Amino acid sequence: MRTIGTLVLSCLIAASICLPSVAAAYERPGAVSLAGEWEFCPVEPVIDIVPDRYTRPDWPTLCPEWDEVIDPEASPPWDSDWHPVPVPMAWEHYTNAGYNEAGWYARYVDIPREWMEDGKRIWLEFDAVATAAGV
């Protein structure tokens, strides 16, 4: 029993050592937070639009049809149900929606020209995106 306790304690200590580097990942030099006000429009979940023919119905899989569904050009028109929302935000705070709901987020971002010089790459990182995302 003492060995299990030591193992659990060791895992907790190891995890606590790793957490600060993960938590500070967005604070890298040159990183820009996109938190703030975004436009948001709830839509029908992708799993309801593109039926999953290969596994259980509640397990989404990537298939060619999804490219059409998550294409930003296929997003709802601006005169539809778009609303300003704070990001980060949980679905439950805005729509009181259940599991596997879907929606579009939109925001214009100015990208400095120097970010694209000398073969530099821009890395866009999303937290808590599930099933599918399009940029």
- Digit-coded pLDDT (tens) for 33-90: 888 898 888 777 665 555 555 555 555 555 555 556 566 666 677 677 888 888 887 7
Residue 3 included in any domain: no
Question: Which domain range does residue 73 map to?
Answer: 27-116
Residue 60 included in any domain: yes
Residue 103 included in any domain: yes
Residue 47 included in any domain: yes
Residue 132 included in any domain: no
Alpha-carbon torsion 82, 48, 71, 102, what sign? Answer: positive
pTM over 0.75: no
Highest averaged pLDDT of the listed ranges 49-58, 62-71, 92-101, 125-134: 125-134
Structural domain count, the chain: 1
Residue 133 included in any domain: no
Residue 12 included in any domain: no
Burial of residue 102 (number of CB atoms within 10 Å: 0-12, 13-18, 19+): buried
Residue 121 included in any domain: no
Q: Amino acid identity, residue 95?
A: T
